[in-house]
Amino acid sequence: MSAGPFARLPPPPYYVVIFSSLRTAGDQGYEQMAARMVELAAQQPGFLGAESARGADGFGITVSYWRSEEDIAAWRRHAEHRLAQQGGRARWYEHYELRVARVERAWGKAI
Amino acid sequence: MSAGPFARLPPPPYYVVIFSSLRTAGDQGYEQMAARMVELAAQQPGFLGAESARGADGFGITVSYWRSEEDIAAWRRHAEHRLAQQGGRARWYEHYELRVARVERAWGKAI
């Protein structure tokens, strides 16, 4: 899973959660929670990989890849993840959008 | 399309192109091309919206949303976009990954 920031994934089909978010000001425990969620997600059944970018304006996109929709649903219900979701709504995000999609084709290029 | 950095989208289903990339050093005309591609994509049939984030490490994710796979294929073949793709391979990106997925569910939250 570590080609630097890129996820190493099997051939499609698989599923993706696209999480777009705008951070509130100040850390308020955000970095620690985010690192823990990456660590925890990677331990879940069906987790395939994740990629994340956030600009200086506070807008970020995280994509996490999963074997199935059931695996995504189980991760969404995970107790520690639910606590983080509550913190996200209460403190860390001004606004966010979540989209679940089925990846059908993939290709890439390394120099 | 402007709730700040968030795309305003219709209810699913629709399609998404997830473009993850690691920039080379230096601008080399990149910012001008990127702004032009955003402008040009927004004029294409079936374009629904886009979101983009890039961190200080040069790793970025752009998601663009489309009505259909045919619309995505047409945009991929667009002459000016093809020139940009060539520049991307030759100059602007160390590495990139492209994934096309069908969005099936979406939800969000604004404070």
CA B100 to chain centre: 11
Q: Which amino acid, A89? A: R
DSSP one-letter string for A8-50:
--PSSPEEEEEEEEEEPSS-TTHHHHHHHHHHHHTTSTTEEEE
Task: Name the minimum distance, in Å, from the CA of B40 to any CA of chain A.
Answer: 22
Residues of chain A contacting B96 with CB distance shorter than 8 Å: 108-109
Average pLDDT score, chain A: 94
pLDDT exceeding 70 applies to what percent of chain B?
A: 95
Which chain B residue is nearest to residue A88, measuring alpha carbons?
A: B109
Residues of chain B contacting A4 with CB distance shorter than 8 Å: 22, 59, 95
Residue A44 near residue A71 (C-beta atoms within 8 A): yes
CB pairs under 8 A between A and B: 128
Q: What is the pLDDT of residues B12-55, one digit of tens each?
A: 999 999 999 999 999 999 999 999 999 999 999 999 999 999 99
